[in-house]
Structure 1
Amino acid sequence: MKQTILFTFLLAFLSIQPGMGQTASIKKGVITDSIPVGSEGTESMAVFLPRDFTMEKQWPVLFIFEKEGRGRQAIGMFQEAAEKEGFILAASNNVHDSIAIARNILLTNRMIDQLTGILPVNPKRMYTGGFGTGGQLASLVPVFLPKLAGTIVCGAALPTLEVLNDKKPFYFIGIVGKRDFNYPALRKTMDELDRKKFPNHLYVFDGGNEWPPKPYLEKAFQLLTVQAMEDGIIPRDESFLRQSYDYQLIEIRQQLQQNQLLNAYSQMEDLTQAYGKLIEMDSLKDETRRLKKDSRYRAQRREEKNTFFQETLRREDYEFYLEEDIATYNYNNLGWWKFQMETLDKLEQKDSDQSRDMAARLRGYINAYIEDYIMIVSREENVDEEALLLLQMLKTITEPGDPQYYLAVISQSAKLDDYGTALFYLEELLKTGYREKEVLYNLEHTALLRITPEFNRIIAEYFKDARYEIIEE
């Protein structure tokens, strides 16, 4: 089906006719959702165009991936940086982490073909991006679709290094919080990319498993533009290069002042790789060599290696005991898990930044690991109710501030007619300060539990009154 574009300068929007009578308007400066992909009408994408978009030139585009196929939400996190740096954004509403990678690749390819057929996209400046699980998928897509030149991955590492093809390198830009449990894996990814001669850059910010601050996304977009200049895809812009380089240097200076020498050194090496063929960098190279010999840098490097080693051992313990406990329904080991969380509490009180960061990463890791397990068990055709209950109990230990898992244990225990456990977790929940009375009286599977004197006695103790009268025999 022939695709056409009508560009109206007065209204500043694009009118697109993808086929079969379907039309959509793409307005500049805002996100346009539900743009049909293909002629079947079963797929769609969201698109963002910068305010200064024009049909008169070719534009770079970042295809963004979100684990639940929420295109508008995915684009929203990149929108400000894309506006500033002049990138088109697009995201499929059908790509999802629950479907096979092969199907996701096919969906992505159709989205790319659709977008390049209706907008003036530079075919050599197409990239992927995403956060978390979406970031993992974004990092894999260029492996299977070589027409994509690079990726911006936030809070995730390449799921497997074996898929990399030395003959088809792409630019990998990672952004991660130093307390994110993905940080060690992303470091390992970067080391492997270095070995395979893949261009790469790692930004580390002060945070956990969360979206990075906007400046990091802006810098990532700038690196993609710098790479395009180095490859001769777009004209060299001396003013842009100098301003971009100076912007990148700001963080290095801050890290040096804050004695974050490992991250500063990594940034120096990456900047040399990114800008070395375009501008004079002798001073930065000299500074990098001096830092490498600095005793403080060497001490931090030794401490980090030791920390990563200890972290790996703890992770292996968590994985082993979790699988054993679930396989044997070992409720007796809940005390061991409580001790592990208390150990992390102590680590977070230490003076060492490395110890505190490791504790935060380990806490994030075990919570994510249990959540994945809950999702897997819940999706089984015949749900293992006992395993699900134990996993929910574990979450009240590893993440005691989240009421949803106490509520889940109460509901699941009542479903299994274990009212003693349900009442225990009800009181434990209320001790945390939880006061959503109506939620408690409407919990699934608790119809009989809610009318018991024991349930209402606990409710009356914390809420001053209960829905049902307590009759003492």
Structure 2
Amino acid sequence: MNAPRLFLVVLVALGLAGVRSFAAADVPKGRVLEKVACVADPNQTYALYIPTTFDPARPMPLLLCFDPGARGKAPVERFQAAAEKFGWLVAGSNNSRNGPWEANAAAIQAMVKDLTAHLPIDSKRVYAAGLSGGARVACQLGMSGMLQGVISCSAAFAGSETPRKVPFLFFGTAGVTDFNYRELARVDRELEERRAVHRVVIFDGGHEWLPAPLALEALAWFELQAMRSGTRPKDPTWTAEQFGARRTAVPAEPVIERHRALRSLAADFKGLADTAALESEVATLGASREFKDALKAERSLERTEQSTIEDLLTAVNEGYVGSVRKRVTDLQMKAKGTGPERAMAVRVLQGVGSTCGEMAREALRANDYDAAAAVLEMVVLVRPERPQGHFDLARVRAQLGDRKAAMTALQQAVAVGFRDAARVKDEKAFDKLRSDPAFQALVGGMK
């Protein structure tokens, strides 16, 4: 199902949402339900949180969540406290994942139909949240026009290109060591240029769902925007509290972060609070030499990061193992340091590792095991701490009949933390290794 068709189906379902004929006592409130099966298609399931303030006579905001690994429970738990505080329904698909749009469309359609069949949803306040590829799914839904807003974690728009017009509220997040950090920073600038209503927050973390405290900020921001648009009654006392909390949290330095925080604060509360002093300070800071020098340094670091990624990927594609090893060693040393260079080194290593992983998956889909093995050798050079790369290399080496290399890779996977004995047992590629005493000892140790 393409995006426009899905939009129509979901819009019809949301238009039918309303008061349902069950008692509030029948609803499992205040706890995360890990697996709710869709009545029309039990193969489609989702995690769900219904706040304790649930009232079947009152339509509620809905947040749809999309995890790249189809882990619906993970985002629902992140948003649980925020949903309880603001009275939101939160649902996370257990079927939507990184992959073809058609499969995601089917998961979205089934989940929305099931939710609207049983719960009172405010069709004017439907939002989505996604991580990585799930963020691109959420943004694609938003571009279709069915969402009021999107919480976009560690990625943004399809093709990594910001549209000229964004018809929804955009709340983006990225960890400072997230390999998609630069994408979110760029989206922030581009949405600012387009005068789109948005907020982008960088937190101390990596490529992951936003932390629960930031999830609270995200829903509070949507509540604020709902007051601005009239889809929720204004609450001057609450608005003043939010304004005060945000104002207190503005960092004194570095100057570039202070400027961004003040600019965002002024934009969010304009018309709801007195922002004249904020706007004046934003203008003063933006004209200062300190700010201009900091901005220049930031852009320079971004260019360095991009060229480092390109050089490393070129070495990977050309199969220059020695060059890759040398560059990775240098980056690993920087990653042990502090400051912007440390964060940049971590992002480069993770980003190149992720790109190589996707190259390996493409080779495996084409049953090109030689190409997959070559790329996976690079993966474990770039990200030696990740068990999955070693495990995948072991599978490919086993497929190619290199039992010794397969055992070495599998042993390395276990050494860095691989513990899924059932997965090793079920992997057919390892059938020829099962009589090997070393293999038996390895699996036995995992159990």
Normalising by the smaller structure, the TM-score range is 0.7 to 0.9
1:378 is aligned to 2:364: yes
1:206-221 to 2 correspondences below 5 Å: 206-221=204-219
1:353-392 to 2 correspondences below 5 Å: 353-380=339-366, 383-392=367-376
CA distance in structure 2 between the aligned counterparts of 1:192 and 1:225, rounded to whole angstroms: 24
CA contact (8 A) 2:97 2:133 kept: no
Residue 59 of structure 1, CA deviation: 1.6
Runs of 4+ in 1 over 6 A off after TM superposition: 1-4, 426-430, 432-436
- CA distance change for structure 1 residues 357 and 245 in 2, over 3 Å: closer, same or farther? same
CA contact (8 A) 2:139 2:152 kept: yes
Q: What is the aligned partner in structure 2 of residue 32 from structure 1?
A: 33
Cα deviation per residue 1:142-173 (whole Å; 9 max; x = unaligned)?
112x131110111222233657363x621000
1:54-453 to 2 correspondences below 5 Å: 54-100=55-101, 102=102, 104-105=104-105, 107-144=107-144, 146-160=145-159, 164=163, 166=165, 169-252=167-250, 255-256=251-252, 259-322=253-316, 324-325=317-318, 330=319, 333-348=320-335, 353-380=339-366, 383-410=367-394, 412-413=396-397, 415-418=399-402, 421=405, 444=430, 447=433, 450=436
- CA distance change for structure 1 residues 354 and 299 in 2, over 3 Å: closer, same or farther? farther
CA distance in structure 2 between the aligned counterparts of 1:104 and 1:244, rounded to whole angstroms: 36
- 1:338 aligned counterpart, secondary structure: helix
- CA distance change for structure 1 residues 109 and 375 in 2, over 3 Å: closer, same or farther? same
Q: TM-score, normalised by structure 1?
A: 0.79
CA distance in structure 2 between the aligned counterparts of 1:398 and 1:283, rounded to whole angstroms: 48
> Structure 1 counterpart of 2:71, which letter?
R
Residue 216 of structure 1, CA deviation: 1.1
Residue 181 of structure 1, CA deviation: 1.0
- CA distance change for structure 1 residues 266 and 41 in 2, over 3 Å: closer, same or farther? same
CA distance in structure 1 between the aligned counterparts of 2:403 and 2:92, rounded to whole angstroms: 47
CA distance in structure 2 between the aligned counterparts of 1:34 and 1:424, rounded to whole angstroms: 38
> Structure 1 counterpart of 2:359, which letter?
Y
Q: TM-score, normalised by structure 2?
A: 0.83
CA RMSD of aligned residues (A): 3.4
65-74 vs 386-395, which moves further: 65-74
Residue 396 of structure 1, CA deviation: 2.2
CA contact (8 A) 2:75 2:92 kept: yes
Residue 234 of structure 1, CA deviation: 1.3
CA distance in structure 1 between the aligned counterparts of 2:282 and 2:138, rounded to whole angstroms: 31
Sequence identity percentage: 23
CA distance in structure 1 between the aligned counterparts of 2:284 and 2:394, rounded to whole angstroms: 59
CA distance in structure 1 between the aligned counterparts of 2:105 and 2:382, rounded to whole angstroms: 36
CA distance in structure 2 between the aligned counterparts of 1:221 and 1:273, rounded to whole angstroms: 17
> Structure 1 counterpart of 2:29, which letter?
K
CA distance in structure 2 between the aligned counterparts of 1:319 and 1:51, rounded to whole angstroms: 50
The aligned length equals: 422
- 1:354 aligned counterpart, secondary structure: helix
Cα deviation per residue 1:23-44 (whole Å; 9 max; x = unaligned)?
xxxx111123544546354534
CA distance in structure 2 between the aligned counterparts of 1:40 and 1:420, rounded to whole angstroms: 46
Q: What is the aligned partner in structure 2 of residue 18 from structure 1?
A: none
Cα deviation per residue 1:331-366 (whole Å; 9 max; x = unaligned)?
xx2111111111212433556x22111111101101
Residue 131 of structure 1, CA deviation: 1.6
CA distance in structure 1 between the aligned counterparts of 2:347 and 2:398, rounded to whole angstroms: 34
- CA distance change for structure 1 residues 345 and 42 in 2, over 3 Å: closer, same or farther? closer
Q: Which has the larger radius of gyration?
A: 1
Cα deviation per residue 1:306-354 (whole Å; 9 max; x = unaligned)?
01111111222233333x34xxxx4xx2111111111212433556x22
CA contact (8 A) 1:411 1:446 kept: no
Residue 204 of structure 1, CA deviation: 0.9
Considering fraction of residues, name the structure with more helix.
2
Residue 113 of structure 1, CA deviation: 4.2
> Structure 2 counterpart of 1:122, which letter?
D
CA distance in structure 2 between the aligned counterparts of 1:285 and 1:435, rounded to whole angstroms: 52
Q: RCO higher in 1 or 2 (8 Å CA, sep ≥ 6)?
A: 2
> Structure 1 counterpart of 2:362, which letter?
I
> Structure 2 counterpart of 1:302, which letter?
K
Cα deviation per residue 1:271-302 (whole Å; 9 max; x = unaligned)?
21111121111222233233324443333211
- CA distance change for structure 1 residues 35 and 213 in 2, over 3 Å: closer, same or farther? closer
Cα deviation per residue 1:422-457 (whole Å; 9 max; x = unaligned)?
577688779x68899x99x98925539946xxx79x
Residue 202 of structure 1, CA deviation: 0.6
CA distance in structure 1 between the aligned counterparts of 2:119 and 2:403, rounded to whole angstroms: 61
CA distance in structure 1 between the aligned counterparts of 2:47 and 2:411, rounded to whole angstroms: 46
- CA distance change for structure 1 residues 56 and 433 in 2, over 3 Å: closer, same or farther? closer
Residue 127 of structure 1, CA deviation: 0.6
Residue 200 of structure 1, CA deviation: 0.6
Q: Which runs of 5+ in 2 are unaligned?
A: 1-12, 443-447
CA contact (8 A) 2:350 2:383 kept: no
- CA distance change for structure 1 residues 349 and 413 in 2, over 3 Å: closer, same or farther? closer
Residue 387 of structure 1, CA deviation: 1.6
